[in-house]
Structure 1
């Protein structure tokens, strides 16, 4: 069973969770930090909540998050209602429209959709000369309730007919691609989907994965070794492939820091992903040295 966000993470400092003692993973060309540091916890701003949902101005943030969790199916139905041919995957950063007019499709299920409020034009802060921005529809309250460092959004009073007019909001973060993983998590809170978006993981491990399962795995040296071995073998012991896996995990970490996304379950999952990929890198180096 997955759980909604807690009001505040339990002490947000790093804890070992039974970490293996090892030096930073290395080869002749790769130097990786042993841990991905967590920033100091910051709660989301009440002003950000009231800007997108004035009726929730005095509602406790934990209640808002629980409500969003329960309403996720309606919001996902709203995202699915957007006609795909009218939502460009990317647009030039220099020619972003103020609005996107998107026709709505009839709901494919019996769920009443809650339509998105904005389209984020997400570009990379690490590559300022990159010409395109990813166009990602979102519900502003989902982001405002979970991202402490998100620029304040305002939800327009846009009537819904057969077409939805969504404001386009430019946003610059370290990794637009990693943001797509985070956007999905903010809606469905699926820890298994976060992991499988980063690198190969055994389906038996992902089945019914919970936060307690993540923590238990972090405390088990044998379990960590088996997951690292699986990734190492799935990558054919290829250090270049494994380096790409570490880059995806690091990109996710950078986006979480930039957005102020302080979900404890997500951070523990990130810790696990880093442990697995470091272990896989170390195994690949040892296997190479032993000629396996």
Structure 2
């Protein structure tokens, strides 16, 4: 069955180049009305220009689609609100938000300034927060919303020289996990895309022939499955060069140590048990961890009472 976005309105941040551009063109080709957001800055976040986003709008319109451009800095909530209001004024709804905008300020942690760390956090984390906040009540009132966060293997697994970027990309997963719970009753689904693509963000990191293999369009094909009517929820999709996989956070079943026996030495003695993966599971919420530990304590108390 063909995936269609007819009648849907989508906002894609950082859509003037690379992945965002690919996302915008693909959504428009499948019927979505698109807000092409791009500050138009350099890879490190400096500068601004509307040319790239306007070029994407022109391409969409030449192919018979509808689109507008907006140069909001996603780290500025007032500008983001103006962008969302323009979409509402023109089309009356917002169905899809793709949080794609990002910058890089790569350096080893010892050489990185706190300003560089904060700026990357502001764009990736607060940019995602600002855009999501600006559309959240709209989606709740519609009883429909699809949001895609952009995470990274650098956040999930680490990458030298990217402590700021890695921290930001892990943070958006924490944002996703809670919003999934809060948005469920209003049919708002939130997923995350972990892309590896040959864009200006990665062009210096890989040889040219490899960059060509990691075409943004391959990642976009996966992204489209995260924001249609039948999208999953709380799913991390990894994509690049034709490869697709999923990532999850699991917690082991663990062990229980009575209060009168707790010490670092006892914890170390139980290390094999607490790390055993036999019954590991992905928890539905943070509260589930607490429930698990309470149940272990209650089971121990009951066993003591029977003795």
| Structure-2-length-normalised TM-score | 0.24
Structure with higher Rg: it is 2
Higher relative contact order, structure no. (Cα contacts within 8 Å, ≥ 6 residues apart): 1
| Structure-1-length-normalised TM-score | 0.25
